[in-house]
């Protein structure tokens, strides 16, 4: 081969190798960009949206009821039962007078959010209704003022979820919203129940010393009217539950027992213990009920820390200061 031809062949070969290497590098860059977008999308999908003083620890898996507070006018609570494919809407008057945790005392419902944001509102309603409030939805912008039923109707169409997103503040993830939308899209119109506590005379007028009028509720009558919020999974398992107050604050075990009973749980013991703990501890038979109670109370599964409080019950709960901070009152 002539010398000039050999050089040309070598030069062509080098160019071919460089081109191949450049294409490989370009391919890797494209793959990395795609992976980065996938990671970002995953973060968006499974992270709380528009976080505003809220924190959510668990994704909703559809195994239990989910209870959400809607910052509508008036404030409402929507409970979705995935087993029975049913929705219960509870309308709460702004003048509802309730105990607010963290030492705030009694306030009208309309003021709670301004006192401490979404978390305080959720904790206050958990204490008042004695059902766990799992999340919060608030609509702003042009969607402000929509009623609870209108929001539910929008959520029944998964495509409308993306219409809500720009004006939505929530501690639910996009995955939660899409999952919930898919589930409630299967709810028939006759499976939606609206409970107005004022119309049902569950809330009664009371005049305060300053002359203002508020609405108060009888807890026993309130619990009777909210029987639809019982969780079929917990009711069907019917595991025995013992609750021990591990704080110096009185009646905390009874408060927890009311929440669990309203969920359909079988509480057989409420008692106090000399063991004072900061964190709530839960131990018992591995079950869906245990999983749900850990979600609600934020418990640590550690039987050794329960000590002598372990009873004959299938599930034992030792309440700590963390639970008192959420629903107790100083």
Going from the first residue of the chain to its last (330 residues), give the mean pLDDT of each consecutive group of 10, the final group possibly shorter: 56 62 55 47 48 56 90 89 93 92 90 90 94 88 72 74 76 84 86 89 88 88 89 95 93 94 95 88 91 86 56 89 82
Cβ distance 175 to 46 under 8 Å? yes
Q: Which two tokens stand for residue 234?
A: 């917990």
What fold does the segment set 66-225 form as a domain?
Nucleotidyltransferase; domain 5 (3.30.420)
- The confidence score (pLDDT) of residue 189 equals 85
d(CA 132, CA 327): 10
- The confidence score (pLDDT) of residue 305 equals 55
d(CA 297, CA 286): 16
- The confidence score (pLDDT) of residue 319 equals 93
Q: Spelled out in words, what is the top-level CATH class assigned to the domain 230-327? A: alpha beta
Within 8 A by CB and 6+ apart from 279, the residues are 298, 299, 300, 320, 321, 322
- The confidence score (pLDDT) of residue 61 equals 84
Burial of 306 (0-12, 13-18, 19+ CB in 10 A): buried
Q: Which two tokens stand for residue 304?
A: 């050794």
Q: Which two tokens stand for residue 284?
A: 């018992």
Alpha-carbon distances of 154 from 74, 89, 178, 187, rounded to whole Å? 18, 15, 12, 13
Burial of 198 (0-12, 13-18, 19+ CB in 10 A): middle
Give the number of C-alpha atoms closer than 13 A to the C-alpha of residue 254, restricted to the C-beta side: 4
Q: Rounded to 5 degrees, what are φ and ψ at 2?
A: -60, 150
Report helix, strand and coil shares of the chain as percent, to nearest 5: 45, 20, 30
d(CA 284, CA 268): 14
- The confidence score (pLDDT) of residue 231 equals 95
Helix 148-155 crosses helix 174-184 at what angle (to 10 degrees)?
A: 90
- The confidence score (pLDDT) of residue 33 equals 47
What residue ranges do the domains of the chain occupy? 10-46, 66-225, 230-327
- The confidence score (pLDDT) of residue 306 equals 53
Q: What is the pTM of this model?
A: 0.80
d(CA 302, CA 135): 27
């Amino acid at each position: 081969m002539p010398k000039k031809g050999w050089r040309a062949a070598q030069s062509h070969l080098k160019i071919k190798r460089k081109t191949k290497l450049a294409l490989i590098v370009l391919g890797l860059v494209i793959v990395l960009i795609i992976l980065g977008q996938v990671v970002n999308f995953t973060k968006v999908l499974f992270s709380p949206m528009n976080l505003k003083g809220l924190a959510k620890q668990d994704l909703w898996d559809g195994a239990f009821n989910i209870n959400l507070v809607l910052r509508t006018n008036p404030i409402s609570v929507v409970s979705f039962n995935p087993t029975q494919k049913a929705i219960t809407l509870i309308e709460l008057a702004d003048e509802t007078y309730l105990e607010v945790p963290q030492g705030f005392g009694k306030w009208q419902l309309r003021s709670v959010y301004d006192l401490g944001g979404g978390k305080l509102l959720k904790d206050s309603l958990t204490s008042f209704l004695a059902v766990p409030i799992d999340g919060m939805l608030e609509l702003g912008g042009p969607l402000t003022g929509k009623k609870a039923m209108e929001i539910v109707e929008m959520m029944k169409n998964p495509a409308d979820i993306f219409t809500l997103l720009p004006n939505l503040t929530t501690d639910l993830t996009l995955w939660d919203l899409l999952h919930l939308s898919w589930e409630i899209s299967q709810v028939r119109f006759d499976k939606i129940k609206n409970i107005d506590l004022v119309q049902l005379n569950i809330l009664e007028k009371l005049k305060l010393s300053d002359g203002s009028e508020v609405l108060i509720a009888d807890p026993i009558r309130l619990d009777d009217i909210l029987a639809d919020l019982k969780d079929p999974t917990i009711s069907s398992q019917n595991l025995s539950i013992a609750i021990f107050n591990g704080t110096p604050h009185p009646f905390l075990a009874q408060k927890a027992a009311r929440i669990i009973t309203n969920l359909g749980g079988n509480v057989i013991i409420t008692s106090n213990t000399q063991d004072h703990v900061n964190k709530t501890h839960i131990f018992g038979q591995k079950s869906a009920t245990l999983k749900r109670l850990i979600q609600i109370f934020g418990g640590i599964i550690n039987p050794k820390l329960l000590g002598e409080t372990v009873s004959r019950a299938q599930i034992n709960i030792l309440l700590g200061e963390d639970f008192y901070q959420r629903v107790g009152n100083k």
